[in-house]
Chain A
Amino acid sequence: MSTDSPLTQAQSDDLRAIAGMIIPASVEFDVPGADDPVIHADVVATLGRDMALVREALDQLARLAGAPLVGLDPVRREAVAMQLRANGGAAVATLIRVVLQCYYRDDRVVRSLGLEPRPPYPIGHVLEDGDWSLLDPVRARSPMWRRA
């Protein structure tokens, strides 16, 4: 299958299910889970060059689960997810990364962290100058470098 072709519905469903297990929604922190439809759409739409490895990870997941992940009972689903994480490797790491990188740029999530949902440019940030008197004991030292 070409790496440019989209995920199958089954792969997309499994990806969404495992994403929700990595990061579930939280009432306490007032944030969606990574299986939120907007976040899932972002993940799928931006797989790009990661498509092949993500598909490989989803194949691993499908083999471990033996059935659609969302259809498994909670105990079995948890065991499959933990096994996938324990297996590791580049493909699984890539799957986890694409979930995390989309989740932690979602406006709702970014705001919940106390951050502004915007790119760094053009506003930037303010950096405190700090207390330069901290340098006083260092200034008092003799030259440390060797003359050669």
Chain B
Amino acid sequence: MLRDERGETGMNDPVDVLIIGAGASGAAVAWSLAETKMHILCLEQGGWMNPATYPSTGRDWEARAFGDYSPSPNIRAWLEDYPINDDNSPIRVVNFNGVGGGTVMYTAHFPRLHPSDFRVKSLDGVAADWPVDYDTLVPFFEENDRMMGVSGLAGDPGVPPRNPPMPPLPLGRSGTSLAQAMNRLGWHWWPSDTTVATVDYEGRARCINLGHCTPACAQGAKASTDITYWPVARRAGVELRTHCRVREITTNEYGMAAGVVYYDADGKEQFQAAEVVVLACNGVGTPRLLLNSASARFPNGLANSSSLVGKNLMFHPYAQVYGYVNEQTDSNRAPPTCLWSKEFYETDPSRGFVRGYTFQFGRGVGPVAEAVASEAKGLLPWGEGHHAAFRRLNGHRLGLSAICEDLPEEHNRVTLDPVLKDTNGIPAPRIDYRIGENTARMMEHGIARAKEILAAAEATDICVNSPILYGGWHLLGTARMGADPASSVVNEWGRSHDVKNLFIVDGSLFVTSGGVNPTSTIQALALYIADQMKERLANLFD
């Protein structure tokens, strides 16, 4: 490493490709590009995870989900986290910063977007069509399923054909009760595709039902990219530098990305030159970095001639409904992912809204989570009746959530907070978001249908959380892809319209959100873009 003349900024040897972010998409694109033998470097603001310290290894396993393993960066407040001002949103942003990114803490629910999700304008007259389609992404979905290790069951009439490499998670007691209820109603259900290994798979041990998947899997059965893509990518020569927080992307006199300025683990400012810069910070981190990269040439932020950087934020509002049955459920003794239903996924105008939602069924929660939630809902009394009430609730919960398609609306956006900064003094993101009318109607529909399902399961004491407050996992749409530079930030293969050596590969790309967890599609898109880059290496910047 060199020092500049002032000795203030560390100057590093240039690399061919610089990837920012080591999460779902950054890992996938690093692995895919590794075969080019280019010098590839990834900068990650967090560190490597240590499964021996994960919550499920200790007796305080549930309590830590409210503290140092909260999905909210504002609550978790690790040094590698950046604060987010989401006070003006009914849904709080949740994420994870570290090698593996959000996959360390996700539920591992792994559906794909449907073919219709890529043709929203053509089919339903709202929002916009994507510049790619489902069929184009199929080979990349399949490649990603193999790399992440997907468990599931072929033959689902609710989704296009696919062949998960591992068998599905067991139905268990909760799944059985819910399946019986769905059959009584004649509604579709199917075991969810997940990235939980149900058999030993590519060096990962099979799931042993720790039941505490979301605050990271100590068994290593849940696929997070620190244990799937990254080991392979590093063996293939990709360099991963941790605890490096990028402040801005710099540009040269030709308007091309020159590299990035970042703070290393010691807080020392560094400059890293690169021929190609790839952004993989997802739907809040990516626009934040582009907006923080404003310069005289790009006064509104980098890659922002469309003024769309940060706009069209989509969350997937969750409408959660649960109740209690007489029989024991699986509660915390199994992965929370269970079944899905596509009964209300595709547009039916008679419902009063366009687009649709997936039902995602859960298995229940542990005793602490049950006690805290039930007390807050008024189901769990103080004093004399506490114990009897708790024994009626604990281990008897059945629940589901409608994961509703959010349509792009420009007023839902990520900007830079004028006051809030991270520990390196970099302006933090501010979220302004409200739930759209179409989505609100969809959520009401989902709540009503969920109550019918729980009634069919003979559940009582029905509770509703709509939207789930700390449910902003899916951060989409803030640097969307498209053929027209006036209405999109990157082109149909992820390259910035404005800066021809700058690529985006994360959830920011989404033109619309679909009604499913997006990680599978984010990673398929990242692999697709990496493939496009490899095919166009000779004229990548033309």
Contact surface of A with B, Cβ cutoff 8 Å: 21-24, 26, 28-29, 31, 46, 48-50, 78, 81-82, 85, 93, 96-97, 100-105, 110, 113, 115, 117-132, 134-135, 137-139, 141-148
Minimum CB–CB distance for A100 against chain B, Å = 4
Q: Determine whether the beta carbon of A119 is less than 8 Å from that of B59.
A: yes
- Closest-by-CB residue of B relative to A134 is B179
Distance in angstroms from B333 CB to nearest chain A CB is: 4
Are A127 and B371 in touch, CB under 8 angstroms?
Answer: no
Contact between A143 and B67 (Cβ–Cβ < 8 Å)? no
Interface residue from B60, B115, B183, B368 paired with A147 (Cβ < 8 Å): B115
Which stretch from B30-38, B206-214, B402-410, B520-528 is at the chain A interface? Answer: B206-214
**Nearest opposing residue in chain B for A126, CB measure:** B209
Selected from A81, A85, A93, A120, the residue in CB contact (under 8 A) with B56 is A120
- Residues of chain B in range 147-204 having any CB-CB distance to chain A below 8 Å: 155, 157-160, 169-173, 175-176, 179-180, 183, 186, 188-190
With a CB–CB cut-off of 8 A, which chain A residues contact B119?
148
C-alpha spacing A115/B190, complex, angstroms: 30
Q: Which of these binds chain A: B5-13, B96-104, B375-383? A: B375-383
Beyond A29-B388, A96-B372, 4 extra complex contacts between A and B, CB < 8 Å: A23-B382, A24-B384, A138-B188, A145-B346
Say whether, besides A100-B375, A134-B183, A142-B157, A129 and B208 are in contact (CB < 8 Å).
no
B residues 364-404 touching A (CB-CB < 8 Å): 367-368, 371-372, 375-376, 382-384, 386-388, 391, 394-395
Point out the residues of chain A lying under 8 angstroms from B249, CB to CB.
none
A29 to B209, CA, bound (A): 28
What chain A residues lie within 8 Å of B180 (beta carbons)? 134
Does B212 contact A110, Cβ atoms closer than 8 Å? Answer: no
Smallest CB gap from B217: residue in A: A121
Instruction: Report whether B54 and A144 are in contact in the complex, using a CB–CB cutoff of 8 Å.
Output: no
Determine if A146 and B60 form an interchain contact, defined as CB atoms under 8 angstroms apart: no
B62 interface residue, CB < 8 Å from A? yes
Q: Does B316 contact A (CB under 8 A)?
A: no
Interface size on B, residues (CB 8 A): 73
Residue-wise, chain B 57-98 has the 8 Å CB interface mask toward A (1 for contact) of 111111100111000000001000000000000000000000
Report how far A31 CA is from B388 CA in the complex, Å: 12
Bound complex: CA A104 to CA B394 (Å): 11
Write out, one digit per residue, whether chain B residues 431-447 have a CB within 8 A of any chain A CB (1) or not (0): 00000000000000000
Q: From DSSP, what is the main secondary structure of chain B's interface residues?
A: loop
Nearest A residue to B384 via CB reads A24
What are 23 A-B contacts with C-beta separation under 8 Å?
Answer: A21-B383, A24-B384, A28-B387, A31-B387, A78-B383, A100-B368, A104-B367, A120-B56, A120-B211, A121-B219, A122-B208, A124-B211, A124-B219, A125-B209, A125-B333, A127-B209, A129-B170, A130-B172, A134-B180, A134-B183, A137-B186, A148-B115, A148-B123
Out of B61, B157, B158, B346, name the residue touching A119 (CB < 8 Å).
B61
Q: Smallest distance from the beta carbon of A15 to chain B beta carbons, Å?
A: 15
Task: Name the distance in Å between B77's Cβ and chain A's nearest Cβ.
Answer: 8
A104 contacts which chain B residues (CB < 8 A)?
62, 367-368, 371
* Contact between chains at B56 and A121 (CB < 8 Å): yes
What separation, in Å, do the CA atoms of A97 and B146 have in the docked complex? Answer: 41
**B219:A134 contact, CB within 8 angstroms:** no
* Nearest chain B CB to A139 CB, angstrom units: 6
Interface centre among B68, B367, B384, B387 (most CB of A within 10 A): B387
B67 CB contact (under 8 Å) in A48, A81, A110, A128: A48
Could you say which of A50, A120, A148 contacts B122, with CB atoms under 8 Å apart?
A: A148
Q: Are B386 and A22 interface neighbours, CB within 8 A?
A: yes
Chain B residues whose C-beta falls within 8 Å of the C-beta of A146 in the assembled complex: 114-116, 123, 346-347
Q: A141-B188, A148-B123 are in contact. Are A121 and B171 (CB under 8 A)?
A: no
CA distance A82 to B391 in the complex (A): 23
Q: A85-B382, A135-B190 are in contact. Are A144 and B211 (CB under 8 A)?
A: no
Q: Which B residue's beta carbon lies closest to that of A84?
A: B382
CB-defined contacts of B172 to chain A, threshold 8 Å: 127-130
Q: CA of A127 to CA of B207 in the docked complex: distance in angstroms?
A: 10
Q: Quick one: which of A82, A85, A146 has the most chain B CB within 10 A?
A: A146
Residue ID in chain B nearest A147 by CB atoms: B115
| Complex contacts, A124 vs chain B, CB 8 Å | 207-211, 219
Q: A26-B387, A29-B387 are in contact. Are A129 and B171 (CB under 8 A)?
A: yes
Q: Which residue of A lies closest to B186 (CB)?
A: A137
User: Are A46 and B376 in contact, with the CB atoms below 8 A?
Assistant: no
A46 and B64 alpha carbons, distance in the complex (Å):
11
B residues less than 8 Å from A26 (CB atoms): 387
A24, A121, A141: the one contacting B210 at CB < 8 Å is A121
- The answer to whether A113 touches B169, judged by C-beta atoms less than 8 angstroms apart, is no
- Which residues of B lie under 8 Å from residue A144 when comparing CB positions? 157-158, 188, 342-343, 345-346
- A28–B390 alpha-carbon span in the complex (Å): 14
Complex: how many Å from CA A102 to CA B67? 14
**Which among A127, A145, A148 has the greatest number of chain B C-beta atoms within 10 A?**
A127
One of A28, A118, A145 near B345 (C-beta < 8 A): A145
Contacts of A121 in B (CB 8 A): 54, 56-57, 210, 218-219
Residue of A nearest to B378 (CB): A85
Bound: A113/B281 CA distance, A: 43
Contact residues in B for A118 (Cβ distance below 8 Å): 59
Known: A105-B368, A115-B367, A134-B176. A148 touches B134 (CB 8 A): yes
